[in-house]
Amino acid sequence: MSLHRLTQIVMGVPNVEQTAAYYTDFGLTPGASPADGSRPAAPQTAAAGSGHVLSTADGGEQLRIVHTPRRRLVELGVGADDPDDLDRVAAALARLDVPVHRTAGSVSAVDPGTEVLVRVETAPRLRQTPPPAAPYNTPGAAVRQGERAPGILREVPVRPRKLGHVVLGSTDQEASQRFFLEGIGFKVSDTVKGLAAFMRCSTDHHNVLVQQAPVAFLHHTSWQVDDVDEIGRGATAMLEADPDRHTWGLGRHHIGSNFFWYLKDPAGTFSEYYSDLDCIVDDALWKPGVFEGAKGLYAWGPPPPPSFLAPEDLAALMTGAHTPAQ
């Protein structure tokens, strides 16, 4: 696969400071000042060069938060192996009549339905070191004997390893999906009939999902942690600081198989801790499924709150009257 990962997102919010503080609590590390020149601003959005940068443990500077009048995803970075891949993306987008901006190291284009500027750039592949083995007792196989579970002994704050995926609302879901599949080169892992496709640009089960919505918006971002204990520890710490952050969890998705816990940031966007996501290394060995309605949403856990399926600020986002709680 020539595309191999998400590199960085630029998230636009009306309340930059508050939102950056939230993602610091979430476990991302405030990065170097954007003024250090470590990463050039994307060609089509001056805003992308400002704001706060936060890092994951393995993926580096993966979140930039900038000011926009209403919350949305401004940019999505996708890593590719070499310039040939960029040529292929540029040609595919041109076939869809999408205007393309090409530089030596990147190709960018805006998907009108989601209003996101997607930038495909040459980037090194992510090499992740596995966490220490956490022996897990099962009936008839007590592999951990005479010692407590490592998950209850951890004390360091949870730190997400990488950005996993984003879920977007699009005013033209079909066109947005075509943009990502036929234009950028994502692949379909599973489909929810008539609603959306889970799309990947890496070996992760999904990196982007686009849903039909009355307004372009960012539904959630998702961040990988080591295991389900880290999800529980991370969410518990977030809720100790502010119980109103709770949205949905703990549960396990059916599509993608991952454990999840969703929280809400001060701009109204959900952020997810996840672990144990399905991994697709050999495309030929994966059979994409077609799921109906909410069936594929979760295998177990509490039912999703209505506000997860239709965020409470959608009407305000449509009218531009969105003002997040201060």
Residue ranges binding Fe ion (CB under 5 A): 222, 272
Cα 62 from chain centre: 10
- Residue nearer to Fe ion on the CB measure, 121 or 230: 230
Q: Nearest approach, Cβ of 115 to Fe ion (angstroms)?
A: 20
- Residue nearer to Fe ion on the CB measure, 39 or 198: 198
- Residue nearer to Fe ion on the CB measure, 51 or 311: 311
Residue 115, classified by CB atoms within 10 Å of its CB into exposed (0-12), middle (13-18) or buried (19+), is buried
Residue 240, classified by CB atoms within 10 Å of its CB into exposed (0-12), middle (13-18) or buried (19+), is exposed
* Distances, alpha carbon 112 to alpha carbons 67, 107, 117, in Å: 20, 16, 9
Q: Nearest approach, Cβ of 221 to Fe ion (angstroms)?
A: 8
Q: Nearest approach, Cβ of 292 to Fe ion (angstroms)?
A: 19
Ramachandran sector of residue 16 (left: φ over 0; alpha: ψ -120 to 50; beta: rest): alpha
- Residue nearer to Fe ion on the CB measure, 15 or 221: 221
Q: Nearest approach, Cβ of 130 to Fe ion (angstroms)?
A: 22
- Residue nearer to Fe ion on the CB measure, 15 or 275: 275
Using alpha carbons, select from 136, 114, 109, 91 the residue that is nearest to residue 44: 109
- Residue nearer to Fe ion on the CB measure, 170 or 222: 222
> Which residue carries 């003024």 as its tokens?
35
**Radius of gyration, CA atoms only, the chain:** 19
Q: CA-to-CA distance for 256 and 197, rounded, in angstroms?
A: 12
Q: Which residue is nearest to Fe ion (CB)?
A: 222
- Residue nearer to Fe ion on the CB measure, 41 or 188: 188
* Strand residues in 68-216 grouped as ranges (E): 72-80, 101-102, 106-111, 116-122, 162-170, 187-192, 196-200, 208-212
- Residue nearer to Fe ion on the CB measure, 109 or 259: 259
DSSP per-residue string spanning 18-54: HHHHHHHHHTPEE-S-GGG-SSPPPTT-GGGGSSEEE
Q: Nearest approach, Cβ of 142 to Fe ion (angstroms)?
A: 34
First to last CA, the chain: 44
> Which residue carries 């990947």 as its tokens?
200
For the packed helices 16-26 and 228-241, what is the interaxial angle rounded to 10 degrees?
140
